[in-house]
Structures are given as C-alpha cells and as structure tokens.
Chain A
C-alpha cells in the first residue's frame, strides 16, 4: 500500500469546561466547583491512503466531527498527532501550514451556516483561490464559472446570495468552494444529512463523480450507514470517542464484528424490512462526561461479560485489514 495521505496517530482530545462564576460561588459553600472534562476522542489511530474514501460512522457525541476538525487543523489534538503526507500538522512552519490549509478542505453539514449570507456565490467560491494565488483576480470569474459548472450549477448563480438557493444547491456551492482550492484531501462532515432523499441522491452522485475525476482522498463523516455503505472504501466506527471497529466496506456490512456495529446495522431502517418487530438494543448513549468503565459499550451490550466492565478491550487485528475492539474476539 502506498504512503497514506492522512495518518491519525493515537489522537486524543479533551475538552475542559471551567466552572462559571455562579458555580464557583456555589462551590465556596459546598464541596468546591471542579472543572469537568469530556474525553471527546480517546487514542484514535487510523490512516487514509491516496484516493481512498474512509467513512467515519457514529452516533451524536461520539467525537466524529471533532476528529474532522482536528484533521483539517482547525483545532489541535490534546495528545497524538495527525500527519499529512508524512508531515505532522502541529509542527508546520507558517508557509507549510498555509499550503496544507489549501490541500485539506472541508465540506460542512449545514450549508446555510457555512456560507456567508452577505456574500454572493461568486465571492464565496472565488475568495479563497484568489487569496491563495491559485487564480489571478482578473480570471476569478471564469474560474468560478468553471467550478459551478463542475458541480452542476448554472454560471448565473455567481451573482446570487445563499438564501436564494435551495438546500441542494447550497450543498453544491459548499462543494465548489472546497474544490476551488484544488485540494488533495477532503473532510466531508455529514454533507447530505440535511437534504431530502431525492436531492441527497443527486449530491452523492456528484461527490462520487468528482472523486473519480479528481482522484481525491476523503474522510466521510456520517451517522447514516446507508450513505457510508454506498460511498466509502473502508469504514471506521466510533463509540464515545473510541474506535470500536475498522473494516473494508463490503466486509463490515456482510459480517460486522463488534456488537455495537451489529446493533447499528440491525437498527438502520431498510426498505426491505416489512412489518418487522423492532428489536432495539437497550439503554441510552451514556454521557461523555462520565463514560462507563472498561468497554464503553458494556452497559448496552447483549454479550457483555465480567471482563468488559473492568478492562478496556484493545483494538486488535482480527483478520487482514480488519480491526475490532471487543473481548469476545479473545474468547473463542
């Protein structure tokens, strides 16, 4: 396998919330206010090869968006490092940092929140390539037209504002803006979650076409297993900040190993399940402020053993290219 474009190496991220003034005042008369810590990511390691699409799947609060932000270098990791083509993101000199910022682009979930409502589409798409010197000011308009055409928008959209566009069109603008930087790597954070089914199919087709044309590698973040099954080469499953399973797409969906992956697959609604009895897994997602001991999934796991309560299962290779963090694999 060729050298990875992105290598995520033992990345952890902690967010610490300092108590507010009122809490500190209350703390004077009780047992004292403490800072509370969320372990958003806990020792996450995987890499993404050139031209590869890796799907990152998990439920809300599992840390998938946090990881996306660390990969685009928007926030630093607490420990561990992310390397882009071998160079650690945290240790780049300013010029290299600028160049890496161009090469790693992000597509956001909510295009209304990520497009400046007071800028025209032409400015939104053309600003960054002009600033980075990819195109000359005089040629920006033509460059923007080309990008808009590439994502299936008419050049007349250049003079419109985001609010004049439908959700699907806004998603296309978000994609055009990312492509304008001629990136090598894309982080797509739930790019189709807010769209209607028929529009979602249009945008996914566009993403798949662009990926084939441009040879982009991609971290595709989604809570929707169906989307990931369709678009990803490999899948990484996160649960409360930890990787529980990594597997090639087809194998994961054919034979999920981790009980959490199995539960996710069983619970995803599919068109071919008629009149079924829903057999959901028990319990709520635990609070990330106080995650369970041992394996984070044990309170909801149908196969939990004594060992799962006390000992964190390591992520182990169970077959070539397949990893799972579950004590059951050590039992058989």
Chain B
C-alpha cells in the first residue's frame, strides 16, 4: 500500500538578490495513515518550509525546484490552485505556531468556523454552527456556546490555539501538519493541547506531522521522527530507536545538548559552531564543519542509507545502532 504522503527529493529555493536560499535541499519522507511523525530541527533547518510546500503555500519568489509530493499516490506539485484550495482544510489541514496570525481578528469565532465548514460542504448555517460548537467542545473549550461569540483577542493564547486546532479538524482531514503549535504556550497548557491532539487524531485515524524544535516533546507521542539539518533530513526512524541510539552525529549532539540528562551544574555537551547559512551551504555534508567525526570523505554529500529497523541516515560515518546515549 502506498503511503498517505510521500515526499521525494523535494527542493524549495528562494532566489534573493545575493544568491539562492536553499531552504529545503532534497527532502524525502513518507507518512502512513494514522501515523504521527515528528519533524525536528533548529531554526532555519527547513522544517516549516517543507510543511508549507505540502500545502502548496510556498509563495513567489520561492519555488519548488525539484521533487515530488505524492498525496494518496498523486503528485501535488503543479496542480491548479483551485484544486489545491479544495484539498486544503478538507484533506490536509495545517495548524500554525501563532494562532493570532491564523485567526481573523475582526471576525467572531463562529463566523470563522462556519465559513471553514461551508467552504467545503453544502450544509445549512444551523448545522454548521452546531458542528462548530461540537468541535470546540471536542478540543476542551469550556462553555463552547459562549465562546462561539468571542473575538480572537478575547481568548487566551491556549484557547486560541484550541480554536485553530478545532478548525483544522473540522473536516476530519487525513493529514494534519502542525507547525510548532505549542511553542508559544506554557507547559501546563502545552500538555493539555498535546493530549487533546493525540486523542483526536487517534480517534479519527488522522495522520499528523508535528513540526518542532523540541525533541523531548516529540519523544512523548510520535511514532517516527525525522531530524532536519540545513535543508536535509539527516536521520529518520522509529522514535525510540532514534532517540536512544542515534546514528547521525548531529542527532547525537542535539540530544547531548538537551537539559535534564547530565548532573546539574556539569557542562552540557555542546555542538561547536553555528549552522551554515542556507545561502551558502558547504558542498559536501552540511554538518561536516561542526562534526567530530568528519574527514576528507565528507567533502562529498552522503546519500540516504537504510539501516535495519526502518531507519535511514545520511552520513559517511554513522554511529553504530548499539551505541546508546548515556
């Protein structure tokens, strides 16, 4: 059975006056129905742009330079805008980091929600309203009837994100792409929202791509994880295997710099240097200048190599799968 979503060799570029920003530089990944994939990377690694590309939201002058994005077997790249519009929200939905940017500040919640329903279905206003109300209740909003009349600024940050999630799930899409939806929220609210998302997606069989910089958060609920660095996926595989025995030196460095591992006060393992500028990527492996294992081989870019247990790594000198992190 083909995957629900299969991205192959995706390249997204933004030509600027001073050169070309290679935001996504050859990303391949697949998501099955009902699966939760954590797409992890630091700022500028291309994780959000990958998400935007799936929904056809790369704005000019940005362009998809190469690759395919197959959803239910059919390539989405180059489809007419009208067709993409019918698909967005119904088949694939997105939740953004900042719900104040997604929600229209001058429209009431009920207006925005019923609009999202009637955009894809012919239903009466009354039925749409009832569905909007139920959707709010499902994401844990207390007194949903009253909240329907609220404007976005009258809601707290956590509540706004719940509304954005309710809107994304209105049509029971097959795939939801969530771009750092809890980054701006407090931890107690973050847990509530993750729990809700987890339950709702499991109930509806919705696949989820959760884009985040937080490995620890994703370790709690993803099935698989893909780690991005400088526009490429450097490692992917089942979340338990990748996090307890990472193959790529970057994944290993990232886990080492996480807090809560070592003894308090002990120096944290740090990755030296800075990520490369996406305008000026090194010719070979982009991580080589910061990598403790790099040598002359790394001047040519490594290919994706399959490892046992459904794992992939893009490295000439991967760690052995038996080397667990302390």
The residues of A with any CB-CB pair to B shorter than 8 Å are 59-60, 166-168, 196-202, 204-205, 208-209, 223-227, 229-231, 249-250, 263-264, 267-282, 284-285, 300
Contact = CB atoms under 8 A, between A and B. Distances in A.
Contacts of B192: 278, 280-282
Contact of B265 (A208, A269, A280, A300): A208
A270 B264 contact: no
Contacts of B194: 278
Interface in B34-79: 42-43
Contacts of A250: 264
B304 interface: no
Top 9 nearest A-B pairs by Cβ distance? A201-B257, A226-B259, A278-B195, A280-B191, A59-B186, A196-B42, A269-B216, A201-B268, A269-B217
A267 B270 contact: no
12 contacts: A198-B257, A198-B271, A201-B257, A201-B268, A202-B270, A204-B259, A227-B259, A249-B264, A267-B190, A271-B260, A278-B191, A284-B156
B214 interface: yes
B214 to A, nearest CB: 6
Contacts of B254: 197-198
B259 A60 contact: no
Given A200-B257, A205-B268, A264-B187, A280 B221 contact: no
Interface residues of B, number: 45
B188 A267 contact: yes
B215 A271 contact: yes
Given A197-B215, A197-B257, A269-B219, A223 B191 contact: no
A284 B216 contact: no
A279 B260 contact: no
Contacts of A269: 187, 190, 214, 216-217, 219-220
A270 B270 CA distance: 18
Interface of B: 42-43, 156, 158-159, 186-192, 194-195, 198, 213-217, 219-221, 239-240, 243, 253-262, 264-265, 267-271, 274-275
Contact of B267 (A168, A208, A225, A270): A208
A285 B156 contact: yes
Contacts of A60: 186
A282 B190 CA distance: 12
B163 to A, nearest CB: 13
Nearest to B243: A271
A196 B45 CA distance: 11
B54 to A, nearest CB: 23
Contacts, number: 134
Interface centre among B188, B195, B215, B270, by most chain A C-beta atoms within 10 angstroms, is: B188
A224 B190 CA distance: 13
Nearest to A285: B186
B186 A278 contact: no
Contacts of A270: 216, 219, 260
Contacts of A229: 259-260, 264
A219 B122 CA distance: 58
A198 B254 CA distance: 6
Contacts of B258: 197, 201, 226, 271
A183 B159 CA distance: 42
A100 to B, nearest CB: 29
A167 B213 CA distance: 15
A230 B216 contact: no
A205 B198 contact: no
A267 B187 contact: yes
A8 to B, nearest CB: 24
Contact of B186 (A204, A223, A274): A223
Given A204-B268, A264-B187, 8 more contacts: A60-B186, A199-B274, A202-B271, A226-B259, A269-B214, A269-B219, A272-B219, A281-B191
Given A59-B188, A196-B213, A231 B265 contact: yes
Given A196-B42, A267-B188, A276 B220 contact: yes
A282 B196 CA distance: 12
A130 B216 CA distance: 44
Nearest to A300: B188
Nearest to A169: B274
Contacts of B189: 284-285
A230 B186 contact: no
Contacts of B264: 229-231, 249-250
A285 B157 CA distance: 10
A196 B270 contact: no
A40 B45 CA distance: 38
A166 B274 CA distance: 9
Interface centre among A200, A270, A272, A284, by most chain B C-beta atoms within 10 angstroms, is: A284
Contact of A271 (B156, B159, B261, B265): B261
A277 B219 CA distance: 12
A230 B42 contact: no
A274 B239 contact: yes
